[in-house]
Amino acid sequence: MPRADRPRTGALLAGLAAALLTGCAGPVADWIVEAPNQRGIAMDAETVDDMRDQLQGESSELPTPAGMLRYLRAPPRPYDVTMRTWVVGETRGGGLETVTTWIFRPADERQPVVEPRGTVVLLHGFMLVKEIMGAFAALLADAGFDTVLVDLPGHGESGGDFVTWGVREAPAVNVLRRQLEAEGAARPLIAFGVSLGGSVAIRAAAEESGWDAVIALQPFEDPARVIPNYRSMAPAWLRFYVSERRIEKAMNIAEMRGGFAFADAGLAPLLADYAVPTLIEHGRFDSLVPVAESEALAAAAPDAIDLIVSDADHFTLPLFLWERCPTIFS
C-alpha cells in the first residue's frame, strides 16, 4: 500500500537544512552529489516488502560502469489498482498539497496475460527508489506490459558512490536495455521516467539506439539550472542561509567529488538528430523543475518530442497521470 505524497520530503529537507546551516559549501556539495543510498533515504522497509509481494517480481542485478544496477522485473498480470488522494492545502507555486495512497493487489479472478504488449523500464526521481514506481508498474502490468523497475546508480539497492545527474546514469540504463534485448524482451521497449528519471530516459535514448519510445514526467534539460530550485522546498528562514554564490561554489565542489561536469549534463546538445518518439508532460505550477526545462527539450527536437503542459506541480503531476497511464502506453 505505497504512499506517494512528496516521498521522503522530510528526510530530503533535513539533509539540505543540515548542509545549509553549517555555513560552508562542502556539505551542500555532498547533498548534491553524494549517493542517496549511503544516507538511508528511501521508502520504509515494510512498504518495499509489500510492493514486492504484490508485484511478485524477480529481482536481478547487472554490472555497469556506474556500479551494480539492481532492478525488479514484474510480468504482465491482472491487478486491481486504486488511488486515494486528499487535498490538504495549496503550495507556494499555486499547485495542490496532497496526501495520497496507492492500493494495488493481484486480481486472481481474471486471466493472466499470455503475450506481453511490450516492455516498460520505469525510472524514479532524485533520492527515491524503484519501489516508488510500484503502482505504475501494477497499472502497466494490468494493461499487459512487462515492467522493469530500476534503482538508478547511487540509489536504493544499486551501487555507485555519486549522483551525476544523468551523465553516468544513462549509460548504465543502456547496459540494462542491451541485456533486456539479449533476453528477447517484448517490444516496443519504452523508457518511462519521472524528474531525474525522465531526463535519464531521454539521455539514454539520445546516446544509443534501441529504445522505441520515451515517456518523461517533468524532466530537466540542464540540472545546473534546477539544483538551486531545491531551496524552494525549504521554509523562508532556511532559504535565507543559502545564496546563489554558495550554491555555485557547492556545484563546483560536487563536480570535483563526483568526477563529472555539469556542462556535460545538459541534454539539448544531444538532441540535434534525436528521432525517438517522446512524450513529455510537465506541470505549469512546477517550481522545482520549471516547465521551461521541458520546453527547452521540445524545442531542441520538435519533430520527435511532444509536450503536454498540465495544471499540476512537481508532486501532483504523477498523481494526475496514473489513471491515463495504460492508455498513454498503448
The angle at the Cα of 70, spanning 65 to 76, to the nearest 5 degrees, equals 130
pLDDT value at residue 1: 39
6/284 Cα distance (integer angstroms) = 18
Instruction: Convert the pLDDT of each residue in 240-252 to its tens digit.
Output: 666 677 888 889 9
**Distance (Å, rounded) from C-alpha 27 to C-alpha 179?**
37
Nearest partner of 328 among 118, 156, 165, 72, judged by Cα: 118
> At how many degrees (to 10) do helices 9-21 and 25-33 cross?
150
How far apart are the two ends of the chain, measured CA to CA in Å? 26
Instruction: For the beta carbon of residue 63, count every other beta carbon within 10 angstroms.
Output: 11
Each residue of 275-307: b (16+ CB within 10 Å) or e?
Answer: ebbbbbbbbebbbbbbbebbebbbebbeebbeb
Residue 90 has pLDDT above 80, yes or no: no
Provide the greatest CA pair distance for the chain: 60
- pLDDT bin (cut points 50, 70, 90) of residue 18 is low
Name residue 2's amino acid.
P
Q: pLDDT at position 81, please?
A: 85
H or E stretch covering 79: strand 79-90
Assign 31 a pLDDT band (cuts: 50, 70, 90): confident
When pLDDT is averaged across residues 202-210 and rounded to a whole number, the result is 97
Report whether pLDDT(20) > 80.
no
Average pLDDT value over all residues in the chain:
85
- Rounded to an integer, what distance in angstroms lies between the CA atom of residue 275 and that of residue 212? 10
* Confidence band for 60, pLDDT divided at 50, 70 and 90: very high
Could you tell me which residue, 123 or 322, shows the higher pLDDT? Answer: 123
Q: Which residues pair with 147 in a beta bridge?
A: 74, 120
CB–CB of 150/130 below 8 Å?
A: yes
Closest CA to 275 of 193, 216, 218, 205: 205
How far apart CA 202 and CA 67 sit, in angstroms, is 21
Report pLDDT digits (tens) over 140-199.
Answer: 999 999 999 999 999 999 999 999 999 999 999 999 999 999 999 999 999 999 999 999
Neighbouring C-beta atoms of residue 56, cutoff 10 Å: 11
Residue 42: what pLDDT? 57
Residue 278 phi, psi (nearest 5):
-135, 130
Residue 228's Cβ-count burial label (10 Å; 0-12, 13-18, 19+) is middle
User: In the predicted model, is pLDDT for residue 295 greater than 50?
Assistant: yes
pTM: 0.88
Q: State residue 5's pLDDT score.
A: 44
Report the alpha-carbon distance of residue 101 to residue 262 in Å, rounded.
36
**pLDDT value for 26:** 74
Q: When comparing pLDDT for 97 and 253, which is higher?
A: 253
Percentage of the chain modeled with pLDDT above 70: 81
Can you tell me the mean pLDDT for 88-116?
A: 73
What's the pLDDT at 3? 46
Residue 189 grid cell: 521497449
Least confident of 81-90, 116-125, 282-291, 313-322: 81-90
pLDDT of 67? 93
